[in-house]
Amino acid sequence: MTVERAKEPEDHVVFLPTGRYCPDIKEKSNLACKALKKAKEVFGREDEHFLVSIEKNIPLAGGLAGGSADAAAVLTALAKIWDLPEEAMDKMYEAAGTLGSDVPFCLASQNGHPCAIGRGRGEKMEFIEAVKGRVDLFISEEYIKDKTAAVYNALISDDYLIQYDIDAFKKAKTLEKKIKYMGNHLKPAYERLSGKERDMMLCGAGPTYFRFDKAGEYETIT
């Protein structure tokens, strides 16, 4: 992604054809465009205009926070362009929280905090030590209309009975050990809708799954 000052007196967000995924998304509804507008409002810079160019290589609606990462990248770029002091980043995190639950963490990961425990809607973060490792990705082919809303609406009270040991997760020193304490309350709801169960971790509201890669090689299945 590149963010540069526009030559014309208006903002533009464009997807480059060189990206693996070149979505046909209305510009104003794109999360990167919303991030640009929000940051300008928060910092009183509505008279400045920018061109945002995105090379999209993360699948759309894949549960991988691709749109949130784009929005966070815009906020990060603007912070650098405006040379914001560190204390001003609190306002940027607040702006991120209004854009989506994943955006604050994506912003944090682009600014030196790649691992965190999120609370609330995700905007309350406890930064923890990151660990390295590889995972297999499995991108399933199930189609669920309005997926995220449908999965949340499919949640039942029993889905919340699953408890995760946060303290054990924090103490684990390797990715293989951390994954043992990870989970997703949305997984049962997603699999009831899709009609398929898989012995892997679900990313977000799906359809991407992942598992620890003991072989040390990435594997993407579509």
pLDDT at position 48, please?
A: 94
**Rounded Cα distance, 70 and 116, in Å:** 19
Per-residue pLDDT of the chain (222 residues; tens, 9 = 90+): 899 999 888 888 888 877 877 766 666 778 999 999 999 999 999 999 999 999 888 888 888 899 999 999 999 999 999 999 999 999 999 999 999 999 999 999 999 999 999 888 888 899 999 998 888 888 887 888 899 999 999 999 999 888 889 999 999 999 889 988 988 999 999 999 999 999 899 999 999 999 887 654 444 443
**Which are the contacts of 26, defined by CB distance < 8 A and separation ≥ 6?**
none
pLDDT of residue 4: 92
Q: Extract the tokens encoding 18.
A: 């060189």
- Residue 94 corresponds to which tokens in the numbers above? 């607040």
- Taken in order of first residue, the domains within the chain and their CATH numbers are 2-127 (3.30.230.10), 135-221 (no CATH)
Per-residue model confidence (pLDDT) at position 222: 39
User: Which DSSP string corresponds to 129-147?
Assistant: ------EEEEE-----TTH
Other Cβ atoms within 10 Å of 12 Cβ, number: 14
pLDDT at 214: 64
Q: What pTM does this model have? A: 0.86
